[in-house]
Copies of this chain bind each other. A is one copy, B any other.
Amino acid sequence: MDEGTRWLTAEERAAWLAFVAATTLLDGALDRQLQREAGMPLAYYQILAMLSEVPARTLRMSELADITQSSQSRISHAVARLERQGWVLRRPCPDDRRSTFAELTPAGLAALAAAAPGHVRSVRENLFDVLSTEQVGQLAAICRAMLGPLTADPDARPVPGACAD
């Protein structure tokens, strides 16, 4: 059954191992840095960051799930936690009463502002400071190429129908 499998070439294999190691370590490093210096995991930072860049600092739960590439269940649990911490506020949506708005509070914005410099420094140290300008462009092109199949791939969607237009 696997006679037809196209295994990886030596170059692909080397690239793959380096990719897995680098992304795993980078993720861990960023998570640890945030946890240590700001007391929040990377996933929560990303939620706060997304909310901060949007009009009225408010998004519907499902939009938040889409934009952070996570499942609705995860967002629901995470926002519940952030709400307990006073960083996010949940409000019903008047137009569609199925929907809920998540709004960044001033305290949440302050926590984000306090965490941001350290996070950016960490991203810089571990990624951009070791790449040439050319490599930054190459990386962006590579990632954009990956996004094609990934955004179409049913495997990549956390929740069926989460990306419905």
Contact = CB atoms under 8 A, between A and B. Distances in A.
Interface of A: 1-2, 5-8, 11-12, 14-16, 18-30, 32-33, 36, 46, 69, 113, 116-117, 120-131, 133, 135-151, 153, 155-156, 158
Contact of A153 (B16, B29, B117): B29
B8 A123 contact: yes
The DSSP consensus for interface residues of chain A is helix
Contact of A146 (B22, B122, B142, B149): B22
B136 A25 contact: no
Nearest to A146: B22
B7 A120 contact: yes
Number of identical protomers: 2
B2 A117 contact: yes
Contacts of A139: 15, 18-19, 138-139, 142
Question: In the complex, which of the residues A33, A46, A125, A153 has the most CB atoms of chain B within 10 Å of its own CB atom?
Answer: A153
Given A11-B137, A136-B15, A138-B135, A150 B123 contact: no
A1 B117 contact: yes
